């Protein structure tokens, strides 16, 4: 069984800050990859920008400003 998130953070603290930083960076990169895929998939389906931004807010707990930033950052990524 995998340890809980809080246990993982505790283990990272025991191993040192650099490992914890690496762990958190991995989580951040995974989240960004998920957001990129989400945006590209919705664009392929023809979903309007406003609806994609609303869905980003709901699915990823983002503010409207954050959702718009991600949308405009990732909408031009190569597919």
Residue with tokens 């957001």: 35
pLDDT in tens, 8-55: 666 666 666 676 677 788 888 889 999 999 999 999 999 999 999 999
Q: What is the largest CA-CA distance in the chain?
A: 47
- Measure the CA angle with vertex 15, ends 11 and 7; round to 5°: 5
Dig out the tokens for 58 from the structure: 């709901």
pTM of the complete model: 0.69
pLDDT in tens, 66-78: 999 999 998 875 5
- What is the C-alpha separation between 25 and 44, in angstroms, rounded? 29
CB 60 within 8 A of CB 35: yes
């Amino acid at each position: 069984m995998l340890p809980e998130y809080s246990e993982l953070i505790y283990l990272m603290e025991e191993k040192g800050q650099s490992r914890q930083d690496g762990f958190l960076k991995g989580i951040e990169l995974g989240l960004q990859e998920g957001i990129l895929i989400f945006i590209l998939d919705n664009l392929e389906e023809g979903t309007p920008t406003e609806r994609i931004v609303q869905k980003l807010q709901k699915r990823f707990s983002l503010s409207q400003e954050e959702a718009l930033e991600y949308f405009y950052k990732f909408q031009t990524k190569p597919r």
